[in-house]
Amino acid sequence: MTLQEKLLEVKELKTYFMTNRGVTRSVDGVSFTIEHGEVLGIVGESGSGKSVTSYSVMGLVDEPGEIVGGEILFEGKDLTKISKKELKKLQGNSISMIFQEPVTSLNPLLKIGYQISENIILHQSMNKRMAKQKSIEMLKKVGIARANELYNAYPHELSGGMRQRVMIAIALSCNPKLLIADEPTTALDVTIQAQILSLMKNLRMDINTSVMIISHDLGVIAELADRVLVMYAGQVIEEGNVFDLFKSPKHPYTLGLINSTPKITDTKELLDSIPGTVPGPSEMPTGCRFHPRCKFAMKKCVNHEPFLQKLSSGSKVRCWLHEEKEVNIVDESE
Ligand SMILES: Nc1ncnc2c1ncn2[C@@H]1O[C@H](COP(=O)(O)OP(=O)(O)OP(=O)(O)O)[C@@H](O)[C@H]1O
Ligand code: SF4
Ligand SMILES: [Mg+2]
């Protein structure tokens, strides 16, 4: 494999849930890539399909969900087509995941050290002694000072921030090529959040892991990501490098997300929130899925679904405003 080759290439992924109320198109034709060592951020409101995208890549979609279309190429191998056994080998080895809630991800009955060592032994050819050594090394790496002592602690003896560090240690203990972090800091308080983010930044430098970080918090994304994917109602509606996306968002939804995020310099008491909510499966609008909430909506938007087009800047946007030429959208209510 050459280094230029993309680590992950997701093409037209469709993951649907077949419920008795109908079919939920949670991920509906999503495409993106992650390069070696790159951090891709995924943002979007609740219900936009961020977690289902990450679960699909990890092979964790269960009934009533199903990947009904598309490809997930990891180092060129389609994960939707490989056997369960092969997939299991990749999970926790080449691809690791950190979930939102560390309390539910650690086994409360087993000591921390055992849980890390067990993962190392499962995925690498190491004996118990070597695995213990590596576990302690990993605990130190994620900033746990009394690593030798904490190796023998149970999860309930640790704070939420510490438990999340342990989860990161487990996720990184096999030097994964790809780390998927789904809202890794949401359950933590702000100071611990900042520590965990800076930790993830350092570790990425350290072992050149590619990261897919999911958050509804634009601050977290701005801090960590190189490139950002904005999702809405199961689709990618904008993609660009982190600097361009925050400086000059092209999609009205991205602009809305940015305007509804508090900034330190904000003097306004009320932030502009986007009116309405992400549409549910039975109320998917015709045309542009965002049109009932969009203040720029035109006649065309009601019946014609925009495609994801590439702009000269290299960004991508799914919006008719940019059909003929790239424009800078300005929110006049500002
Ligand atoms: N097990 C399931 N059964 C039925 N529908 C599901 C299931 N899991 C997810 N969905 C639906 O898929 C859609 C996308 O959900 P997803 O969890 O990916 O959203 P999200 O962007 O991660 O939101 P959040 O920010 O709240 O985590 C939602 O409409 C959700 O109801
Ligand atoms: S296509 Fe139309 S409705 Fe959709 S975001 Fe663009 S302007 Fe708004
Ligand atoms: Mg989620």
Q: Is the CB of 16 under 6 A from ligand 2?
A: no
* pLDDT the model gives residue 172: 82
Contacts of residue 43, defined as CB under 8 A and 6 or more positions apart, other chains included, come to 50, 214, 215, 216, 218, 221, 228, 229, 230, 231, 257
* pLDDT the model gives residue 104: 62
Q: How many whole angstroms separate alpha carbon 136 and alpha carbon 131? A: 9
Q: Is the CB of 329 under 6 A from ligand 2?
A: no
Of 227, 280, 237, 286, the residue nearest 257 (C-alpha): 237
* pLDDT the model gives residue 226: 95
Q: How many whole angstroms separate alpha carbon 31 and alpha carbon 40? A: 13
Q: Is the CB of 95 under 6 A from ligand 2?
A: no
**Beta strand extents in the chain (DSSP E only):** 8-19, 22-34, 39-43, 65-74, 77-78, 95-98, 178-182, 210-214, 227-232, 235-241, 309-310, 316-317
* pLDDT the model gives residue 327: 80
- Give the model confidence (pLDDT) of 47-98 as tens digits: 999 999 999 999 989 899 999 999 999 999 999 999 988 988 888 789 998 8
Q: Which run of H or E residues covers position 156? A: none
pLDDT per residue rounded down to tens, the chain (334 residues)? 444 579 999 999 999 999 888 899 999 999 999 999 899 999 999 999 999 999 999 998 989 999 999 999 999 999 999 998 898 888 878 999 887 765 567 889 999 999 999 988 987 888 999 999 999 998 988 888 899 999 999 999 998 888 888 988 888 888 889 999 998 877 777 777 777 788 778 777 777 889 999 998 898 899 899 999 999 999 999 999 999 999 999 999 999 999 987 765 555 555 567 888 888 877 899 999 999 999 999 999 999 999 999 998 899 999 999 987 778 887 765 4
Amino acid code (one letter) for 264: I
Q: Is the CB of 301 under 6 A from ligand 2?
A: yes
* Mutation choice for ligand 2 from 278, 298, 299, 317, CB with most ligand atoms inside 8 A: 298
Q: What share of the chain is helix, strand, coil (3-state, %, to 5)?
A: 35, 20, 40
* pLDDT the model gives residue 240: 97
Atom of ligand 1 nearest to the CA of 280: 29
Ligand 1 pocket list (CB less than 6 A): 17, 19, 24, 26, 44, 46-52, 64-65, 216
- Give the model confidence (pLDDT) of 212-250 as tens digits: 999 988 988 998 999 999 999 999 999 999 999 999 999
- For residue 40, give both structure tokens: 């891709």
Q: How many whole angstroms separate alpha carbon 287 and alpha carbon 26? A: 17
Determine which residue's CA is closest to atom 24 belonging to ligand 1. 46
Q: What separation in Å is there between the alpha carbon of 61 and the centre of ligand 3?
A: 13
* Mutation choice for ligand 1 from 50, 101, 218, CB with most ligand atoms inside 8 A: 50
Give helix 190-207 / helix 160-172 axis angle, nearest 10°: 10
Q: What separation in Å is there between the alpha carbon of 50 and the centre of ligand 1?
A: 8
CA distances from 192 to 151, 180, 211, 307 (A): 21, 19, 20, 40
Of 20, 9, 8, 27, the residue nearest 67 (C-alpha): 27
